[in-house]
Amino acid sequence: MKNLLLAATAALAIPAMAQAHFLLEYTTDTMIDAPGDVPVKLIFWHPFENGHVMDLELPEEFYMIHNGEKTDLKGTLEPVEFTGGENSGAAFKGSVPVKRSGDYVLATVPVPYYEASEDIYIQQITKAFLNRNELPTDWMNSVGLPTEIIPLNKPYNVIAGGTFTGLVVANGEPVAGAEIEIEYMAAEPDMDSAASSAPTVSPMAGGSVVAVSDADGYFTFGVPKAGYWGFAALGSGPATEHEGKELSQDAVIWIRAWNME
Ligand SMILES: [Cu+2]
């Protein structure tokens, strides 16, 4: 009971963290028609509520996997400002060279972010997916990150109204009982300006939407709406401490759902 009261007090004191924060690897589309450099924005934000933007440092790693081959994309990153509904923060704009047909899995390993209100570090290791010409090559494979969510549905053309299943792993082993926050990208970044677009829906009453992975590390979510959906397995990673403080090493995945037409 005492812990519950303390938790409630802490939650009241930190409204900026009341809803889920997500590292975005945002592209305007997931299916790429013409070969070329696809712009991507890395933003640490609360996109469901168009809320607080957190300053993002240059990530430790930013790369793509295509046909099993890793290509470092860190050199494409340029610092940009991003303005959400509440404030502006430091973000990055990069580019993904999409040429041959197949999947392009984007992976970001950010520098741990210090969240003063909770006195912890947060490191959201994030994956997103592009595809060209419908040829599936890489989406179902592990990228070999310290912790990640491996999709069991093709993540760039999920049906709105269907389901998405993911497997939470850490060091390649399933993580049972992981708490997974689920976020709808209600507001999307505008690729040409520093701003976000207006949010299309509001966050759910009752706080974050949450699933828990089962005994084998799997979770399934019924995807109710077209658009980008993010899943963050909180503290699923093997590292639990950074510079003497608690570290929440999270696995984040972004999927894109589409309406049947
Ligand atoms: Cu937050």
C-alpha of residue 24 to centroid of ligand 1, in Å: 13
Q: Mean pLDDT over residues 215-224, rounded?
A: 98
The residue ranges of every structural domain in the chain are: 2-258
pLDDT surpasses 90 at 199:
yes
> CB within 5 A of ion ligand 1: which residues?
17, 21
Please check the confidence at residue 134 and state whether its pLDDT lies above 50. Answer: yes
Beta strands per DSSP E along the chain: 22-26, 36-45, 61-66, 69-72, 78-83, 88-98, 102-109, 113-115, 120-132, 147-151, 158-159, 163-170, 173-174, 179-184, 209-212, 218-222, 227-233, 241-242, 245-258
**What is the distance in A from the centroid of ligand 1 to the CA of 244?**
21
**To the nearest whole number, what is the mean pLDDT of the chain?**
93
Average pLDDT over residues 155-166: 98
Taking 90 as the threshold, does the pLDDT of residue 80 lie above it?
yes
